[in-house]
Structure 1
Amino acid sequence: MGKTEFCAYKASSHHKVLMLLFFVILCLSFFPPLSSSSSLSFDFYTGTCPAAEMMVKDTVRSASDLDPTIPGKLLRLLFHDCFVEGCDASVLLQGNGTELSDPANKSLGGFSVIDAAKRVLEIFCPETVSCADILALAARDAVEFAGGPNIQIPTGRRDGRISLAANVRPNIIDTSFTLDEMAKVFTAKGLSMDDIVTLSGAHTIGTAHCSSFNDRFKLDSNGNLTLIDSSLDRQYAAHLTKMCPSGAIDDSVTVSNDPSTPLLFDNQYYRILLEHKGLFQSDSALLNDERTRNRVLEFANNQDSFYERWAVSFSKLTGIGVKTDDEGEIRQSCSLSNNR
């Protein structure tokens, strides 16, 4: 007997009420409601846009093939989104006073990739896939295309309507932070000390502007290198001063976070930490503190261990402050809220 026939079966009049209730419950189990789940799930778009993840992945692949710096930009974009209002694409909203207007977000990139994926999805699945999911999936795929692990993350995020510049600085990690300062922010997001070490591994790809690290060293009046941060390798510091002269502010100059394999998502980031070549003070802090040093050593010596832990920490990252059901919206354009 097929499902439709089974659900239409009529009970005898003697048991009509009880059997009717039974069959209603049974039919609902065969055909669950189409409304959004109250939480994220791995099959969220199965019935509404089954090719959603493939369309995002194809968009990221094409963009990365044309510009190998795209993966690093997408990963950074996700961090700056999730740490402020949660993973709700609030960082994508444009306008006066939005998160994008804060100087800390001035150098963010990868927006065109998210917009391109959204345009494709709006053609085939209009008003269905959130920008928040697109961003999370795009960052996930970016890691894979940069040589990192292929992992699965649940979907079902909705887009937030609030984006305020005033919320940026209290919630993001500054490159000059100590481990205690980082731990305070991470803990507030439900992330652990292990997550700090693991997610800092995102610095294995991407670039940074001079202003994010040139306070760690300087040149004296005779042109000799004077280290401010003794945890930085002197030869590496000398190299950085040539690229970023002390006191110079040039947004056109960028330096690879990982000088060895800047375009590969690997464990080389942890190896350069052992060489005291972490670009940021927040990088060096991981090696210099006993609470995180052993995990740095582990990841430096075992890339598989880093990849396994990355899958766990990245999943936690993309679950920060997500909005589901009626808490948000599905934007038609990722840069504008629907009510504008």
Structure 2
Amino acid sequence: MGFLRFHVLFLLVFFESFLPLFSSSSLLSFGFYSDTCPAAETMVKETVRSAAALDPTVPGKLLRLLFHDCFVEGCDASILLQGNGTERGDPANKSLGGFSVIDSAKRLLEIFCPRTVSCADILALAARDAVEFSGGPNVQIPTGRRDGNISLAANVRPNIVDTSFTLEEMVKIFSSKGLSMEDLVTLSGAHTIGTAHCSAFDARFKVDSNGSLMFIDSSLDRQYAAYLTKMCPPSAAIGDSMTVSNDPATPFLFDNQYYKALLDHKGLFQSDSALLNDARMKNRVLEFAGNPDRFFESWAVSFTRLTSIGVKTDNHGEIRQFCTTTND
């Protein structure tokens, strides 16, 4: 009886974990292109593999690109559209990268499977593969997304998380996307790879006219802050040309080091440190810091939810021929 009760409970928890996915994206499916373009996922994977081999910063860029796409208009590749007033032109998105990788995969797919694979699916798959190539888990995600036609810069700021956000502000944004506090802690682990411009965190401290370090955010480790001031002198911060690895210990490895750094008060962003301000979230940080397998398990669930935000399927949206422009 105990064995049966355990499995019933497991199934209920599993179902509840994916309930938002089923309700918001029921038309997505695994192996969506198995008949129309069987090698689609392989072609995306090999494109990402080649790009990452040449530039180790590519995985972090692709993962960040997905976040900025899905949080605005849903996961519909609206971030890829070019033109005046599009999401891509908003100042918050000026530092995004990885566009050329998506374009390369699209060109390849258009040769073998014209007008078949959406840019939205390519982006989701590329970010998934980027995590795997960085040492993270191999997550199977459903496909069948279609590309959106709306991309407005005005929609960016109200929908994305800023690095200076408080915990309450982050929870509000995540909740509006159907994501839980558990998802917030887990998906923040994306900061285990990637880089950031100095302007994303230099408000946490400053150097006075005598060269002395002055703390604005006392939650930041003093030695880490001193290191950051060397990496981002005032001249560099003004020009915003310098970048710093989100995770100074293992910058190109998708692991649980991000959570260990948080506990040492070495989270790069104010929004990172804010995770420790809630007991439930701090307990999850402690768990992930001590158990990388648990982090990977949670990542698989939360990443699938992320890639299912506001997806367009069936007769909604289109399959773009070029990711930078609509078919009209």
TM-score (norm. length: structure 2): 0.91
**Can you give the 5+ residue segments of structure 1 that lack an aligned partner in the other structure?**
1-36
Does residue 1:222 correspond to 2:222, yes or no? no
- Give the CA deviation at 1:219: 1.2
CA contact (8 A) 1:68 1:263 kept: yes
Between the aligned partners of 2:192 and 2:131, the Cα distance in structure 1 is 10
Which deviations, in whole Å up to 9, do the C-alpha atoms of 1:264-295 show, x marking residues without a partner? 00000000001100000000001232131000
- Give the CA deviation at 1:242: 1.1
Matches of residues 99-118 of structure 1 in structure 2 within 5 Å?
Answer: 99-118=87-106
Per the alignment, residue 243 of structure 1 pairs with: 231
| Larger-Rg structure | 1
What's the secondary structure of 1:81's corresponding residue?
helix
- Specify the code of the residue in structure 2 equivalent to 1:185: I
CA contact (8 A) 1:99 1:168 kept: yes
Question: How many positions carry a matched residue from both structures?
Answer: 303
- Specify the code of the residue in structure 2 equivalent to 1:324: T
Per the alignment, residue 18 of structure 2 pairs with: none
Matches of residues 19-58 of structure 1 in structure 2 within 5 Å?
Answer: 39-58=27-46
Q: CA RMSD in A?
A: 1.0
- Specify the code of the residue in structure 2 equivalent to 1:262: P
Per the alignment, residue 5 of structure 2 pairs with: none
Q: 2:255 aligns with which of 254, 266, 269?
A: 266
Q: 1:282 aligns with which of 262, 271, 274?
A: 271
Matches of residues 39-188 of structure 1 in structure 2 within 5 Å?
Answer: 39-188=27-176
CA contact (8 A) 1:90 1:162 kept: yes
- Give the CA deviation at 1:221: 2.1
- Specify the code of the residue in structure 2 equivalent to 1:261: T
Does residue 1:315 correspond to 2:304, yes or no? yes
What's the secondary structure of 2:214's corresponding residue?
strand
Q: 1:254 aligns with which of 239, 243, 246?
A: 243
- Give the CA deviation at 1:250: 2.5
CA contact (8 A) 2:32 2:144 kept: yes
Between the aligned partners of 2:291 and 2:239, the Cα distance in structure 1 is 37
What's the secondary structure of 2:315's corresponding residue?
helix
Per the alignment, residue 17 of structure 1 pairs with: none
CA contact (8 A) 1:210 1:250 kept: no
Displaced runs of 4 or more, over 3 A: none
Between the aligned partners of 1:269 and 1:115, the Cα distance in structure 2 is 30
Per the alignment, residue 222 of structure 2 pairs with: 234
- Give the CA deviation at 1:225: 0.5
Between the aligned partners of 1:38 and 1:231, the Cα distance in structure 2 is 42
Per the alignment, residue 302 of structure 1 pairs with: 291
What's the secondary structure of 2:244's corresponding residue?
strand
Percent of pairs with identical residues: 80
Does residue 1:333 correspond to 2:288, yes or no? no
Between the aligned partners of 1:38 and 1:61, the Cα distance in structure 2 is 30
CA contact (8 A) 1:214 1:246 kept: no
CA contact (8 A) 2:167 2:277 kept: no
CA contact (8 A) 1:217 1:246 kept: no
> RCO (CA 8 Å, sep 6+): is it higher in 1 or 2?
2
**Can you give the 5+ residue segments of structure 2 that lack an aligned partner in the other structure?**
1-24
- Give the CA deviation at 1:239: 0.8
**Which range moved further: 285-294 or 310-319?**
285-294
What's the secondary structure of 1:218's corresponding residue?
strand
CA contact (8 A) 1:87 1:319 kept: yes
TM-score (norm. length: structure 1): 0.88
Per the alignment, residue 193 of structure 1 pairs with: 181
CA contact (8 A) 1:198 1:313 kept: yes
- Give the CA deviation at 1:298: 0.2
Between the aligned partners of 1:317 and 1:169, the Cα distance in structure 2 is 18
CA contact (8 A) 1:69 1:263 kept: yes
Per the alignment, residue 23 of structure 1 pairs with: none
- Give the CA deviation at 1:177: 0.3
CA contact (8 A) 1:101 1:165 kept: yes
Between the aligned partners of 2:127 and 2:292, the Cα distance in structure 1 is 20
Between the aligned partners of 1:177 and 1:96, the Cα distance in structure 2 is 28
